Amino acid sequence: MTHFCTPVLRALVAATLLLATLAMVFVTINTSRAAGALAIGACGAFGEAFDFHSPAQARKSALEKCSGQACRVVAVVRRGCAALAVDFVNGCGAHGWGKANRLGAAQNVALKSCYRDGGKQCVIRTFFCDGKD
């Protein structure tokens, strides 16, 4: 009768458990940095931050990167996406922003908001996704 607990089988089981453990650690580390923020200011100024441990850290970084007047945080995301659209013809004119679980949806919201604001040729100026696979 053959015994199923051979040294080779034990080594295979140990290796499988080790790989599963490493995968779980990687996923935990990868998703623990899942906060992002979008700040906007006058004339198309913006700052973006992603892969931060907390929304507060992301907000602070986005504001620091926004180099225009009247910068303010308009979107905070956790494992989501954000986008900013501006009018290509007049960068100091119409603009819009959006956030969503998927990039395409965030960009669509930003573009629609820009057109509602009076934009004639709205384009995506920046976008990011945070903590996505």
Asked if 82 and 108 count as a contact pair (C-beta separation under 8 A), the reply is no
Considering the domain architecture, whether residues 82 and 93 belong to the same structural domain is answered as yes
Do residue 106 and residue 47 come from a single domain? yes
Which two tokens mark 85? 């659209």
Residues 27 and 43 in one domain: no
Q: 23 and 69 share a domain?
A: no
Same structural domain, 18 and 82:
no
pLDDT digits (tens, 9 = 90+) for 68-123: 779 999 999 998 999 999 999 998 999 999 999 999 999 999 999 999 999 999 99
Task: Verify that 45 and 91 share a domain, yes or no.
Answer: yes
Domain count, the chain: 2
Beta bridge partners of 38: 48, 75
Residue, of 24 and 126, whose pLDDT is higher = 126
Please, what's the b/e burial string for 61-83 (b: 16 or more CB within 10 A of its CB; e: otherwise)? bbbeebeeeebebbbbbeebbbb
Query: What's the pLDDT at 69?
Result: 78
Query: Are 104 and 75 in a shared domain?
Result: yes
Give the pLDDT of residue 7. 63
Do 58 and 4 reside in the same domain of the chain? no
Q: Which two tokens stand for residue 45?
A: 């100024």
Together in a domain, 39 and 88: yes
| 25 and 69 part of one domain | no
- Kindly report the average pLDDT of the chain as a whole number: 83
Print the domain residue range for 55: 33-129
- The reported pLDDT for the residue numbered 68 is 76
Buried/exposed 29-51: b ≥16 CB within 10 Å, e otherwise: eeeebbbbbbbbbeebbbbbbbe
pTM: 0.72
